[in-house]
């Protein structure tokens, strides 16, 4: 069987990358294989997680590239060199241009830490999403996996899972619960579902 070749794009701690690596090791992901990890931040701990799992990992720094266009060209060159079929944004904190996203229709997916269309779009990333959810006083939040198009967090929804907000939650506590109860479950499940389509 030909497995879908997966690239994971990251910027930070990489707990979602770790969930994907674990899912691959536990045969939750069977139809795809993580071939490459790309970080836009040299200090991202996600790079170390990839190293430990013997996955090729590189940093492509936007500042060093000089422009968004050069940054994206450098990413595309790596994706092509590795014959990547599916691009997974797992805590990747850089918005990709329409030139980039339109090259890969339904081949880029993203995990977002809220129930889209709540708390999403420009400025809603990482802890800010949970701060906004707490400020609004919602009683239920969650995570969403969606296809990536030219609208930030605007592509077709693939999977969602709801998570309870508890009295006295801090943004950090809520972030961890959303990760444990939703993100680390639905991201591997969605990757397997799409990898299966590609591998057919
Ligand atoms: C995750 O909560 C992810 O959903 C979020 O950043 C965190 C990255 O954590 N992504 C976004 O906010 C994208 N808009 P990780 O590096 O430990 O996976």
Q: Which two tokens stand for residue 177?
A: 């619960």
Task: Give the C-alpha separation, 34 to 128, whole Å.
Answer: 29
Q: What is the 3-state secondary structure (H, E, C) of 35-83?
A: EEEEECCCCCHHHHHHHHCCCEEEECCHHHHCCHHHHHHHHHHHHHHCC
The mean pLDDT value for 81-90 works out to 98
Cβ-based burial of 166 (10 A; exposed 0-12, middle 13-18, buried ≥19)? exposed
pLDDT tens sequence across 177-194: 999 999 999 999 999 999
Question: Of 112, 128, 130, 146, which residue is the catalytic one?
Answer: 112
Atom of ligand 1 nearest to the CA of 91: 8
CA of 139 to the centre of ligand 1 (A): 21
Q: Please, what sign has the CA dihedral across residues 189, 57, 95, 104?
A: negative
User: What residue has token string 């990709």?
Assistant: 96
Which pLDDT score, from 0 to 100, does residue 200 have? 79
Say which DSSP state 110 is in: E
**Which residue lies with its CA nearest to atom 8 of ligand 1?**
91
CA distances from 14 to 21, 141, 144 (A): 10, 21, 17
What's the predicted TM-score (pTM) here? 0.98
Provide residues with CB under 6 Å of ligand 1. Answer: 10, 12-16, 46, 90-91, 111-113, 125-126, 129, 179, 183
CA of 184 to the centre of ligand 1 (A): 11
pLDDT tens sequence across 146-177: 999 999 999 999 999 999 999 999 999 999 99
112 is catalytic: yes
Write out the H or E segment, with its range, that includes residue 16.
helix 15-25
**Which of 91, 141, 178 for a ligand 1 pocket mutation test, highest count of atoms within 8 Å of Cβ?**
91
């Amino acid at each position: 069987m030909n497995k879908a070749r997966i690239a994971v794009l990251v910027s930070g701690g990489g707990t979602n990358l770790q969930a994907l690596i674990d899912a691959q090791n536990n045969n939750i992901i069977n139809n795809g294989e993580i071939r490459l990890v790309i970080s836009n931040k040299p200090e991202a701990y996600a790079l170390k997680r990839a190293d430990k799992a013997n996955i090729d990992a590189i940093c492509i720094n936007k500042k060093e590239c000089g422009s968004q266009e050069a940054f994206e060209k450098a990413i595309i060159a790596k994706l092509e060199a590795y014959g990547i079929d599916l691009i997974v944004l797992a805590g990747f904190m850089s918005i990709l241009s329409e030139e980039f996203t339109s090259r890969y229709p339904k081949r880029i997916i993203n995990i977002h830490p809220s129930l889209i269309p709540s708390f999403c779009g420009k400025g809603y990333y990482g802890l800010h999403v949970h701060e906004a959810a707490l400020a609004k006083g919602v009683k239920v939040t969650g995570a969403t996996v969606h296809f990536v198009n030219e609208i930030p967090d605007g592509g077709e929804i693939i999977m969602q899972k709801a998570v309870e907000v508890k009295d006295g939650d801090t943004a950090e506590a809520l972030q961890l619960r959303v990760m444990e109860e939703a993100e680390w479950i639905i991201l591997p499940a969605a990757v397997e579902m799409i990898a299966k389509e590609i591998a057919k």
